[in-house]
A and B are shown apart, each in its own frame.
Chain A
C-alpha cells in the first residue's frame, strides 16, 4: 500500500542518486574495471572486492537494525524474499546472468548509471535486457499463476 506519494518520489529519487553516485565513485559503473576484476588471469584489478565489501558490511550490520521497526516508513510491512530452497531456476539464471555480465561488463545497476554516456553498446544492451526481463516475466506468470 502506497503512503505519501511525494515522499515516495523524493526519497526514492534520493536513494537512487546515492546508489548511482556510489556506482560512479567506486568504479563499478566502468565496464572495463568490472572486466578487469573478473580477469584473474590478466591485469587483475581487485577494486570491486572493496565495493562489495563496503556495501555488504552496511547491509549485514544495518538490516537487523532497520527490521527492529514494526514497519517501513512508507509501507505497511517489510516484504523480503522468504524462499530458502536452491532450485534449478536459481542456478540456471545465475549462469545466464554471469555469462552476459562477463561478456559485457554490465549488470543492471551500472547500466542505468552509465546510460547518459549514450554509447551504442550501452543502448543496445539496455534494450535487449529490458526485452529479456519482460518476456521472461510474462512466461513466469503463465507458469506459476499467482
Chain B
C-alpha cells in the first residue's frame, strides 16, 4: 500500500469543500430528482442502459474536468498541478484488486461514500447508515493492518 505521507489538518478547506459537495447533491435532486451517488451515476451513465444517461455523462465529465476549472480560476494548488502530483500507490496489482473490490462492492451494496454517505445520511436512511458504518470500520481496519501490523 501507499507509504504513509504526512497531510496537514485542513478543517476550513475541508468544511468548505464538503458544503460544495452537499450543494451539488442538492442540485442533482432539484434538477434531476436523483441521488448524487457517484457509483450509481457511473453505472447508469456509462455501463448499463438507462433512460436519463445524458445528465449523468455530463456530471461525470464535470468531475473529470474540475481540475482544469480550478487552474483556470487561478486556484492551481487545487487544480492540474495538484492532481498531477498526488501520491498514488505504484503497486499496480494492489490498485487493480482495490478497483475491482470497489466496483463489485459498490454495485452489490448499492452505493459508495457519496450515495450512502452524503445522500443516504441526509435522507436519514437506516440502510445507508449501516453501510457507512460498515465500510468506514472495514477501511480503517484494512489501513490499521497494512500500516501497523504487516
Interface positions of A (Cβ within 8 A of B): 1-2, 5, 7-33, 35-36, 38-43, 45-60, 62-63, 66-67, 69, 71-75, 77-81, 83-86, 89-109, 112-122, 124-137, 140-141
User: How distant is the Cα of A129 from the Cα of B142 in the complex, in angstroms?
Assistant: 19
User: How distant is the Cα of A93 from the Cα of B80 in the complex, in angstroms?
Assistant: 33
Q: In whole Å, how far is A77's beta carbon from the nearest beta carbon of chain B?
A: 6
User: How distant is the Cα of A103 from the Cα of B95 in the complex, in angstroms?
Assistant: 8
Q: Cβ of B57: which chain A residues have Cβ within 8 Å of it?
A: 12
Q: Contacting A99 at CB < 8 Å: which of B52, B66, B139, B148?
A: B139
Q: In whole Å, how far is B117's beta carbon from the nearest beta carbon of chain A?
A: 6
Q: For B46, B48, B79, which residue has the most chain A Cβ atoms within 10 angstroms?
A: B48
Instruction: Give the dominant DSSP class at B's interface.
Output: helix
B residues 5-55 touching A (CB-CB < 8 Å): 5-11, 13-36, 38-39, 42-43, 46-48, 51-52, 54-55
User: How distant is the Cα of A129 from the Cα of B60 in the complex, in angstroms?
Assistant: 15
Q: Are A124 and B99 in contact (CB under 8 A)?
A: yes
Instruction: Give the dominant DSSP class at A's interface.
Output: helix
B residues 55-107 touching A (CB-CB < 8 Å): 55-70, 75, 78-80, 82-92, 94-107
Chain B, interface residues (CB within 8 Å), range = 35 or more
Interface positions of B (Cβ within 8 A of A): 1-2, 4-11, 13-36, 38-39, 42-43, 46-48, 51-52, 54-70, 75, 78-80, 82-92, 94-110, 112-114, 116-127, 130-132, 134-144, 146-148
- Would you list 22 pairs from A and B whose C-beta atoms are within 8 A, ordered by A residue? A15-B28, A18-B27, A19-B63, A25-B78, A58-B22, A58-B26, A80-B33, A93-B104, A94-B132, A96-B109, A97-B102, A97-B112, A98-B138, A98-B139, A102-B140, A103-B1, A103-B98, A104-B89, A114-B83, A120-B92, A125-B99, A137-B43
